[in-house]
Chains A and B, each alone.
Chain A
């Protein structure tokens, strides 16, 4: 307690102006603006036509001009991505728990999962199309397939790395496997799980956009593919910008969730 009062005393001595700009907080905004300014300047100086590299001003013009289709397709991509992602969260959690449950299951399933993960998911899209036709379903499934692996691996890792001493203490009290999972395994794997969501949501966008590009009449992937075939390059870039906005928003949401749900892991050394 004495250190607190000391700190206050030190902090109180130099009189500080009441208002100061927090440069660290502003930095992301400033750097983003800087990037767009540089891009704009580069286009002006190089004189590249907007069919090769449109300036940001031209891209924003395209966003305004085509707002209605952009909005509709952005919603569609957002919908397929989050749906695929949510399925991945539920399935990834369940399979992660199953794999982490016993060594035998871990030994048997892990190599299969690794092999499965090594397959480029874009190669699965044609199969999904044969089974489900083009459109929403293959996009959701591709987003799911590509994003669930990191969730599985992280949940299983959290379970597999329980300290043997902790397990001994509980087993000596008569704890069943289920008790150990509920009291230690699952809470312990939560930081790994929430950490993996950031990776998974980013991958989910990759999956849905790939599928929309090759096999859909909807979504940003499809919109960009058709804009490209019409040499409407500003619209292609407008699609990219929308994807970036959605991606950043979802990533930020996952990062916030992680901090909210597992603050203890950052304070203690366990997760380190």
Chain B
């Protein structure tokens, strides 16, 4: 994809330009500083970096939950000044509401997003069908009527992905979504995400501390420095798609993971 790394170009869905974000007033923590990043439509970007370097802050800047003190965040051609509803978010903690069934949890964003909330009651059947189809694609067919406590951690995280996708966001932001899962469940969910990205017109940003995960899933891995965070390197991932879990046993794959590992270790030392 030519021009993918150029800033401010029309292809970019997200562009972050020289952003500073400080928490808690002028004397507070400077979380990110001089952050520059551009994300093209349909691209799958992984963001890695030492813990506390501002990865979650980056997420919140792009979704408009925080507004930077300096610089600009532009999403879909508009500077972000308030939350942008073209994004879906999922966190490590699934945050399913325990008093709602899985289906009702998945439908929750439609009760909020301006475009859908007024249509929801009239077109309920249509939306329910859509949610059930989505549950089926992540392997949760027939679990819509179950409550969150009746699902395993992996199943909750799948439902959580459905909730992030139900309003058909252009941009899906995932903040360490698989951190709390066991290795096998995590690999299963990698495949779920991979297939979602392949089958839908969606741009994905994945924050993770798992380097194998970032290389397996992403088109491009962005490495951040220790706090205050900024982008220190961007690596296109050369492996062709569709990728199988088997590629993780290829030497090129492991070389790339090791190189990333070294870079992050460096970033930590410099701090």
Contacts and interface: CB of A to CB of B under 8 A. Distances in A.
A56 B113 CA distance: 65
B97 A168 contact: no
A190 B99 CA distance: 10
Contacts of A42: none
Given A183-B112, A268-B98, A173 B167 contact: yes
A169 B111 contact: no
Interface in A147-179: 163, 165-166, 168-175, 179
Interface in A223-272: 262, 264-265, 267-270
A174 B113 contact: yes
Contact of A269 (B83, B97, B112, B149): B149
A7 to B, nearest CB: 18
A182 to B, nearest CB: 9
Contacts of B167: 173
Given A173-B112, A174-B112, A163 B83 contact: no
A128 interface: no
A172 B147 contact: no
Nearest to A180: B112
A189 B25 CA distance: 31
Contacts of A166: 95, 97
Contacts of B113: 173-174
A173 B109 contact: yes
A169 B91 contact: yes
Contacts of B112: 170, 173-175, 179, 183
Interface in B90-120: 91, 93, 95, 97-99, 108-109, 111-114
Contact of A165 (B63, B95, B148): B95
B148 A268 contact: yes
Contacts of B215: none
Contacts of B89: 168-169, 172
Closest 7 interchain pairs by CB?
Answer: A268-B98, A268-B149, A172-B63, A174-B85, A173-B112, A166-B95, A264-B99
